[in-house]
Structure 1
Amino acid sequence: MTKRIEGIIPVMITPFKDDGTIDYPGLSRLIEWYIANGCDALFAVCQSSEMLFLSLEERVALAKFVVEAVGGRIPVVASGHVSDKLEDQERELNAVAETGVDGLVLVTNRLDAGQKGGTAFIDDLGSLIEKLPKDLPLGLYECPAPYRRLLSDEELMFCARSDRFGILKDVSCDLETVRRRVALTADTSLAIVNANAGIAHEAMLSGSNGFTGVFTNFHPDLYKWLLTKGPQHSDLAGELAVFLALAAMAEPMGYPKLAKLYHQRLGTFDGIGSRAIDFDIAEKYWAVEALLGHIETGTAQFREKVARA
């Protein structure tokens, strides 16, 4: 049976130099920050990595660098297929697979990219799987860009019964959907891992064994505590869950550049350049620096609280 991929799994951001190329020394420090803060796996080459704005050569180089920098300490999974045509996706995914990643994540909106409906998703998926390495675990990602494409229960169970899939990055943002999916896949290799901070605590209590939302780029250790220690400290867990949900409301303020500004403040890397966000977030979103300061303060306060607990 394919091993489940679960726990706290950051959707990695990609630091860039002033000339627009990938800042690999900064990325190396970011990887160490993720690991030091208790992450269970890393999701490289995803929407947060700005994969829609990276060439295939860059996507492959990014995945390869993360695999080598991690050095087997935790699993590394990656996506990277952005094309509409299946033959192009086959080329993209196999190129990423050759980097040594521990899992290959398929984006649901790229399957049935023409939005034909019916059995098109399962037909496309079945065709694509046959052309990927047989021994490489697969994942599914309901990526919101260019549009969110949620799995039906039938499609979910097709994937679960195939015994090829170890994770669904659930972007339903709906607790009842998460609970239903957890129940449907209970006896399979497919782990349902929620990506929405607003329901993170309740989803964990309902069997979503982990978290893979964008604020794993801010305080993954607090999500790790919520997952592993929260059930034994219900009052503090409830208080922490409220802070995490409110902090994540900052996401629309220019993410992923917002997360890069946060890491610039931490000293992880210097630049906050982004190919996805090409405007000055401090100019567009007034007091964003002050808001990040409050998130830093709240994060530090909760770290002290959970340490005492």
Structure 2
Amino acid sequence: MALPNQSSGSLPRGFIPVMLTPFLESGAIDSPGLAHLTDYYLASGAAGLFANCLSSEMYELTDSERLSITRQVVNRAGGRVPVVATGTFGGSIEQQADFVKRIYDTGVQAVIVITSQLASEDESDSVFLDRIHQLMALTEAIPLGLYECPVPYKRLINSDILAALLPTGRLVYHKDTCLDAGEVSRRLSVASGYNFALYDAYMVNAVSSLRAGAAGLCCIQGNIFPELITWLCTHVDDAARQDAVNQVQQFLTDCMDLVHTAYPVIAKYSLQKQGLPISLKTRRAVDPLTPALQNEMDNLLETVAQLRQVLKIETASSLLT
């Protein structure tokens, strides 16, 4: 049964950030920081929130922490936007189904299935399909989503697999990481007519995916300059603003390598620079945030500020003050 802040309706069009988890220097979860961060995403125009994902350092969290941060995000959002969260972390299908139910009970609209947690890299698509059907049978009518997460390995869900699963009526969300504009179009084609929303994570193809019919974008760049991602989702088809759309797309392409370096620390650094009261602490072992990288990010944030000025975008942090 749906909880009061859950809905069986479609997920919204627009930007859905893959949320960070702020930590105290002790390594404990920074709950006030998470509240500030949730407010920041909402002020940036986020259409929904993806809690307990790879950017959240989900593999470095305990089950109780995964449930706790998801519940906090749901409560903080307060029904203003839907929340989705990951619910599969390995083990038997029965164990994964149990945690899907526990995550759903936090109030999320859909529980996200990590595609690489249902079958090993050397197992066939038929094995994957058999396992996800088992998972569906054990999780009643809970709405599910798919996430082609690169950890433990990236298992892509091609359009043929998607076409086999959509008739179940259980899939409502897909975080796409195939990096292939043609395949995105094929996936959207087989999904036509279903209550299903594809959100692209690959910002080199942001405009092409949105124009092909993607519901929105779900990307790490939204942890650095979320207002630009919201703006692009809103104005991609605005005939009067195509020069600006192309400018934003080129910017997203040009900064792709930088935003992935020392991530998620570099994202936390950028948010600090924009006034968010969070630390750089991470539980994940990542490349160091060197002075040279900080300088590159400082320069990038200056470019972002110039883009915001040209596009007349208010910063999310200013809307919170």
Cα drift, residue 278 of structure 1 = 5.2
Tell me the equivalent position of 1:18. Answer: 25
Tell me the equivalent position of 2:4. Answer: none
User: Which of the numbers 216, 220, 228 marks the counterpart of 1:214?
Assistant: 220
For 1:263, the aligned partner's letter is L
Tell me the equivalent position of 2:95. Answer: 88
Task: Flag as ranges the 4+ runs of structure 1 deviating above 3 A.
Answer: none
- In the alignment, structure 2 segments of 5+ residues that lack a partner are 1-7, 314-321
TM-score by length of 1: 0.93
**Structure 1: how far apart are the matches of 2:100 and 2:260?**
29
Q: Does 1:188 pair with 2:194?
A: yes
Query: Residue 71 and residue 146 in structure 1: after superposition, are their counterparts in 2 closer, same or farther (change >3 A)?
Result: same
Query: Residue 108 and residue 5 in structure 1: after superposition, are their counterparts in 2 closer, same or farther (change >3 A)?
Result: farther
Tell me the equivalent position of 1:251. Answer: 259
Tell me the equivalent position of 1:300. Answer: 305
User: Which of the numbers 265, 268, 273 marks the counterpart of 1:265?
Assistant: 273
**Structure 2: how far apart are the matches of 1:118 and 1:186?**
22
Secondary structure, counterpart of 1:177 in structure 2: helix
Q: Does 1:142 pair with 2:148?
A: yes
Query: Residue 270 and residue 153 in structure 1: after superposition, are their counterparts in 2 closer, same or farther (change >3 A)?
Result: closer
Asked if structure 2 preserves the Cα contact closer than 8 Å seen for 1:108 and 1:149, the reply is yes
Tell me the equivalent position of 1:170. Answer: 176
Identical pairs, percent:
31
Tell me the equivalent position of 1:71. Answer: 78
Write out per-residue CA displacement over residues 190-245 of structure 1, whole angstroms, 9 at most, x where no aligned residue: 22211101111111111112100111111222122212213221111101111122
Query: Residue 258 and residue 80 in structure 1: after superposition, are their counterparts in 2 closer, same or farther (change >3 A)?
Result: farther
Tell me the equivalent position of 2:204. Answer: 198
For 2:136, the aligned partner's letter is I
Asked if structure 2 preserves the Cα contact closer than 8 Å seen for 1:45 and 1:79, the reply is yes
Asked if structure 1 preserves the Cα contact closer than 8 Å seen for 2:121 and 2:153, the reply is no
Cα drift, residue 80 of structure 1 = 3.5
Query: Residue 30 and residue 73 in structure 1: after superposition, are their counterparts in 2 closer, same or farther (change >3 A)?
Result: same
**Structure 1: how far apart are the matches of 2:278 and 2:193?**
46
Cα drift, residue 84 of structure 1 = 3.5
**Structure 1: how far apart are the matches of 2:117 and 2:287?**
28
TM-score by length of 2: 0.90
Tell me the equivalent position of 1:179. Answer: 185
Tell me the equivalent position of 2:16. Answer: 9
